[in-house]
Structure 1
């Protein structure tokens, strides 16, 4: 009888664990909890001269109470209507300032009580930083005097930060343009209590509008009214002494941008009609140039509602787009127009053209460049030299152009033409410096520019600096990192003529810190920060990057961690967690490249599997899961086959080292990684259990493309069916833990995906558990949620992997 009672109690506990719907937040084991609660190092911002360092401190996580503050989801935005700032804004809670080479830092005086700080913006003279403070009733604009290490408030709590781009400095650093709440803003409609005045009607007029499954869209006239009121603002001129004067009247302002000489301001403002199909950034808008007194100079662009585009990732709208200022000239606007009607299916020699117009911005503009692929950006230099970039998704091609913006008859030189997924051939990024307008332009020394690159190669990662001759297009290497036991990142160029750059150096157990390096002197390093390692319990964990081959010969890699205290001589076989994220490639060469640095600091974050080395698990993190489709074959044509092959190769590689019991291997992933997990468990017997977080499982619910698949469901229904775990739920024989944020805003991974998939699994008798995290979006933020997430994962692994019954 006693034995029966004990068994009965055990079954009750087990049943409660699997069946209980309502459960309070739980915490993981102490070893994991201590790592989660380690305080993060501050963020670092530094002025262009490298004189001052500003340290921004924050809590590692929000609280569930913060995530429960009022939130309205409108037009792709998430807004706190009480405070008028994004409801998911990351806040800092303290600021310190130090001279770059001083050891100690100084606390900033004058900060508000219970600071929630965001939107930091250097003044043009780099003596001040403007920022926002969000209190209980609204948002205030503040300014930090860097040298004095003191802060003061500039405005009452009536700043409108709902649309972003809130703080913009005048060129002389004496004042800012600030978006403020209009005095006549109407009360918001309580959509839960409002009585409808009629149905919501949408119309299709025969044009194809194949849009992604956007979240948080407007749904009805009440949403439209609320969006408009939240988007409306007045623009005020706020001086650093606190004087506030009107500048522009009430409108739905998006972006504000001063010309380099400070004499003109380009302002974008949203107009009606709104849309129920696309987010706010595809609503109609007008771009107007004003002078510094707020007078209209001219309207330069009127963009209609952008609901309908041609099919394909490289499709774009027609008309003028990408309006911006030339950084190298006092007041010249440039923009881009599609030469293929925005349709990637149109066969043309050039896809885009770049035009410019000088103040007073009249006329059609002058063409200065054509790009063979879709335009992606320009780095301005001087009157004769500029660098432009383009890219094309379908073949992963990118081109870099050296062109003369003053002479459109001079043919551009293509100085790089490569597959952008080929990291080994990456020439690096051109180094910029601040010009007399305080704008970034090419750092030029006569005819020499500079390139700074990550330096991935077959032998490892060795970041570099190259000189690039603009006349001959030849490169000369002037610095290459020599570290073999540490990882060095070339963070920023301070003074290339002197050879002074800001670098970040770390190792497996050495927390990342910043240094000034003089590349003209051997081993010349000056410390800038001295952050301590907050994760010392992991500092002796064995970590290595392993390489192995798939059955078809494709080379793969993964980062292997052994459990805390693991005896490599005894080689006791342990359970393993494999964590991965699939990535699509158009060639095997790029897919097989090694881009993981073994000297990277062991940093556990909320979504990491590394925590479980404290619980006796081997962890294979960032296991390479390439999905390759060469030539006319698309990667997803053989998605499932390649997925299983990747997983088998990873398990075989670790098993061959003698570290694991291959019958006790779990697989986990987030987002597209969750999609991977569900497919692996449905179509292989390699795993004991799985963890799938915030995934999508039924691709017919994302019918106009997903991830890197641009074919629609009607183009290739077999692809959508074959790749959807929901369609194969009857094949699930492996325990699966599903976790999802109830407020997921990511395109395609709405919570319905996990709910419907779990219902299918439950209906078919599979072992599964669905955990919906209240208030959480695609990435999880509240400490309570994250601790509970780790508890759920630990219990699942303990039950179905570590203590798996044979």
Structure 2
């Protein structure tokens, strides 16, 4: 073991050892990891998941196979926890990056398919990006000791390592193709990196922070910097050298080493915009709020222009509409060689300020001596812009407080032009036009797909068709569609819409006749098809088998019902294979996650599709349909606060009404035994579960995973709550199940990841809640999963979690007896 590795392991112990002590302090059962019944275990061990990536011009499809669940040994490797990040110090990568165990390339036009070959044994890949010419696929190869830059030929699938320099994938953007496809700009470990001195655990003095006036509200972030040695580690591991790597393997340093958030080629490829993190760092907010410089360099790394020095964002006003003062949101204009834009708040970034204009978007051409021009004024907060050409761009602005959204037709060549195309509330899914269809332009940048008559456009430049793809939410469920929309007349033409008994979703369209879609049904897993819109014929591109054959024949029923106040609610009911009501009522597992709405109309809309294939992940409750349960999943738990009312002012009351309505429905259907219903949820769903057990006697048992139960520990807001504890102390108290631990008499199972990385759900939330429950004699059990984050990853952890849930459900629900207070012998007190 070299000195550097030894140092890293020692440092990692700072984070791991206290957590292990905490685990031993609360653990009650030290028999090791357990497995649930074979039907559940089989699903976890045999599931194969696949994703796809379509090349920019639609010629190729990369089929990506996900690896199975990692082992507990794999996820227990030392991680550095710095400024809100978790870093694998051994190979300089960010923890949680999406990786794949194999890649297959498919030529959509020729239907030829071949695997990527010549990769290192047992390697995993990620960050896949097709070249602008589509003759190469670039990707990162993840090994135990380093991350490598590779490319593969899209005509043969043969891969090769492009350079021997190891990548630095600890933070921010990793790589980008030059627009002409001749090189890749990527981040690498700094040349001749020096080992840090070993940490001296003898303190030099106290750690002091101070606030000399000015409000600095901040939510409860995880994994923040704690001391000067953390700062040294942060600098050491995140500092990267950007290099321009050519396809012949030549690698040339670009600019100086730095901590890079992002970098982006200008459309013509001659300039690069770079975002670089600067000091001072903060111990109270993550790296995403650290100060940074925005600069433009030429493609050889020479500084051309400094655009902004964005300050530390530790004093943002309260509210989800708050932003920093000064310039922000820098980006290139995709349809011009070297024109860029930025946004500046006109309300000092404070949503409580009353102003008519919230943001102004400015634009400047880097070529020549052009002065900045005002491109557009935003009456709400700037959200996004999609470029077309001089005659059209679509700007989106939003205001979280009211859920308002406007999509505005502007003309970059005529800054006074502004026409609202859609003025809506974005929580209203039925009115969502979807995402605008874009295509690659001559610069390999995404621009609006436009359709127009070239001759007529000279005299009538606004007579343009654009396209969008929407989920197609409707009272019949989601029916995705491809829409053509004329921005002048606002006349629409639906070119494609999903039809029963399938759920079909457009995924690629370039205004030829070819449309690529995904298709699935209740009995058919997701596969991909090419459709000729003119001839209306289709070609199946993939033939993926059922990833969960164990669930074949399970009955799936979307159901609708009403709350006592008349609000429409929805859920999905799963019943065991071949079940009939004549066989008797079943025990029920109800699984939900509350959501806030500003209107009852939006809250009552139908979600999802009745024709989607049943997928199951580690977090799903559907496993228990194999154990003789009826499973009520995605149960609507809307919390509505219309007009000036705040949703959380009546959180408990609405939660109770939602739960009662769902129970009434399964009872009315004759499938559920109202005395044998369990409720559960993950994260905010766990919080919901604990509140339902604290305020009702509706359930036989509850399961709460990775939740927060004492809202005073998240005093500057949580979930969709903008008010602070000091502004609304009664709301925080009443919404905290911890406040009512003495009222909980229903058996509750608490599960939490020991290394939870989610804001607000520190493991101490479950530890303290369990102590309160135990202190008041509640039937309860607390399971802490070593080295697991907010989402559980290791196979051993997932199987054990499912075993715990299965035992709890069978003991206190399925096999429940009146007055039963004891858990079975397999679960120790």
State whether TM-score is above 0.5. yes
Residues 1:103 and 1:362: Cα distance change in structure 2 (over 3 Å): closer
The superposition leaves residues 631-677 of structure 1 with CA deviations (integer Å, 9 ceiling, x where unpaired) of 12100010001001000100100110111111000001000000000
Residues 1:775 and 1:102: Cα distance change in structure 2 (over 3 Å): farther
Q: CA deviation at 1:61?
A: 1.7
* Partner residue in 2 for 1:673: 685
Match of 1:685 among 665, 686, 697: 697
SS of structure 1 residue aligned to 2:420: strand
Q: CA deviation at 1:188?
A: 3.8
Q: Is the 8 A contact 1:579 1:623 kept in 2?
A: yes
Q: Does 1:473 align with 2:483?
A: no
Q: CA deviation at 1:771?
A: 0.7
* Partner residue in 2 for 1:42: 50
1:64-213 → structure 2 map (5 Å cutoff)? 64-100=72-108, 105-156=113-164, 158-188=166-196, 191=199, 194-213=201-220
Q: Is the 8 A contact 1:320 1:336 kept in 2?
A: yes
Alignment partners' CA distance in 1, 2:319 and 2:782 = 34
Q: CA deviation at 1:360?
A: 4.1
Q: CA deviation at 1:490?
A: 1.5
Question: TM-score by structure 1 length?
Answer: 0.95
Q: CA deviation at 1:249?
A: 1.8
Alignment partners' CA distance in 2, 1:361 and 1:301 = 20
Q: CA deviation at 1:189?
A: 5.5
* Partner residue in 2 for 1:553: 566
* Partner residue in 1 for 2:531: 517
SS of structure 1 residue aligned to 2:170: coil
Q: Is the 8 A contact 1:237 1:245 kept in 2?
A: yes
Alignment partners' CA distance in 2, 1:651 and 1:156 = 61
The superposition leaves residues 584-609 of structure 1 with CA deviations (integer Å, 9 ceiling, x where unpaired) of 00010000001221111111110101
Alignment partners' CA distance in 2, 1:487 and 1:384 = 36
* Partner residue in 2 for 1:440: 446
Q: CA deviation at 1:776?
A: 0.8
Match of 2:35 among 16, 27, 31: 27
* Partner residue in 1 for 2:363: 356
1:588-737 → structure 2 map (5 Å cutoff)? 588-737=600-749
Question: TM-score by structure 2 length?
Answer: 0.92
Q: CA deviation at 1:162?
A: 0.9
Q: Does 1:741 align with 2:781?
A: no
Alignment partners' CA distance in 1, 2:111 and 2:587 = 44
Q: Is the 8 A contact 2:172 2:260 kept in 1?
A: no
The superposition leaves residues 434-476 of structure 1 with CA deviations (integer Å, 9 ceiling, x where unpaired) of 1111111111111211122222212333222222112223223
* Partner residue in 2 for 1:463: 480
* Partner residue in 1 for 2:300: 293
* Partner residue in 1 for 2:585: 573
Alignment partners' CA distance in 1, 2:165 and 2:361 = 41
* Partner residue in 2 for 1:253: 260
Alignment partners' CA distance in 2, 1:361 and 1:502 = 42
1:361-440 → structure 2 map (5 Å cutoff)? 365-410=372-417, 412-440=418-446
Q: Is the 8 A contact 1:465 1:479 kept in 2?
A: yes
The superposition leaves residues 296-353 of structure 1 with CA deviations (integer Å, 9 ceiling, x where unpaired) of 1111111111110112111110111111101111111111110111010111111111
Alignment partners' CA distance in 1, 2:42 and 2:554 = 16
Q: Does 1:56 align with 2:69?
A: no
Q: Is the 8 A contact 1:39 1:59 kept in 2?
A: no
The superposition leaves residues 507-526 of structure 1 with CA deviations (integer Å, 9 ceiling, x where unpaired) of 1121100111223333x221
Match of 1:784 among 796, 814, 822: 796
Q: Is the 8 A contact 1:556 1:624 kept in 2?
A: yes
Q: CA deviation at 1:361?
A: 8.1
* Partner residue in 2 for 1:14: none
Match of 1:533 among 546, 559, 562: 546
* Partner residue in 1 for 2:502: 486
* Partner residue in 1 for 2:250: 243
Q: CA deviation at 1:765?
A: 0.7
The superposition leaves residues 724-781 of structure 1 with CA deviations (integer Å, 9 ceiling, x where unpaired) of 0001100010111101111111110011111110111111111111111111111111
Q: CA deviation at 1:378?
A: 0.4
* Partner residue in 2 for 1:4: none
Q: Is the 8 A contact 1:103 1:529 kept in 2?
A: no
The superposition leaves residues 61-109 of structure 1 with CA deviations (integer Å, 9 ceiling, x where unpaired) of 2221121112000011111111100123232122222222666732222
* Partner residue in 2 for 1:10: none
Q: Does 1:215 align with 2:222?
A: yes
Alignment partners' CA distance in 1, 2:507 and 2:633 = 25
The superposition leaves residues 202-227 of structure 1 with CA deviations (integer Å, 9 ceiling, x where unpaired) of 11111111111111110111111110
Q: CA RMSD in A?
A: 1.6
SS of structure 2 residue aligned to 1:347: coil
Q: Is the 8 A contact 1:298 1:361 kept in 2?
A: no
Q: Is the 8 A contact 1:664 1:688 kept in 2?
A: yes
Q: CA deviation at 1:157?
A: 5.5
Alignment partners' CA distance in 2, 1:133 and 1:406 = 44
SS of structure 1 residue aligned to 2:46: coil
Between 1:464-473 and 1:218-227, the stretch displaced more is 464-473
Q: Is the 8 A contact 2:57 2:439 kept in 1?
A: no
Residues 1:739 and 1:102: Cα distance change in structure 2 (over 3 Å): farther
Q: Is the 8 A contact 1:486 1:507 kept in 2?
A: yes
Q: CA deviation at 1:252?
A: 1.7
Alignment partners' CA distance in 1, 2:803 and 2:594 = 26
The superposition leaves residues 35-73 of structure 1 with CA deviations (integer Å, 9 ceiling, x where unpaired) of 112232322112233322211222132221121112000
Alignment partners' CA distance in 2, 1:363 and 1:78 = 43
Alignment partners' CA distance in 1, 2:468 and 2:150 = 37
Q: Which runs of 5+ in 2 are unaligned?
A: 1-25, 453-463, 819-829
Residues 1:102 and 1:561: Cα distance change in structure 2 (over 3 Å): farther
Q: Is the 8 A contact 2:585 2:671 kept in 1?
A: yes
Q: CA deviation at 1:259?
A: 0.4
Residues 1:674 and 1:102: Cα distance change in structure 2 (over 3 Å): farther
Q: Which runs of 5+ in 1 are unaligned?
A: 1-17
Q: Is the 8 A contact 2:557 2:572 kept in 1?
A: yes
Alignment partners' CA distance in 1, 2:27 and 2:377 = 62
* Partner residue in 2 for 1:276: 283
* Partner residue in 2 for 1:11: none
Q: CA deviation at 1:491?
A: 1.7
Q: Is the 8 A contact 1:130 1:143 kept in 2?
A: yes
Q: CA deviation at 1:364?
A: 6.2
Q: Is the 8 A contact 1:42 1:55 kept in 2?
A: yes
Residues 1:241 and 1:337: Cα distance change in structure 2 (over 3 Å): same
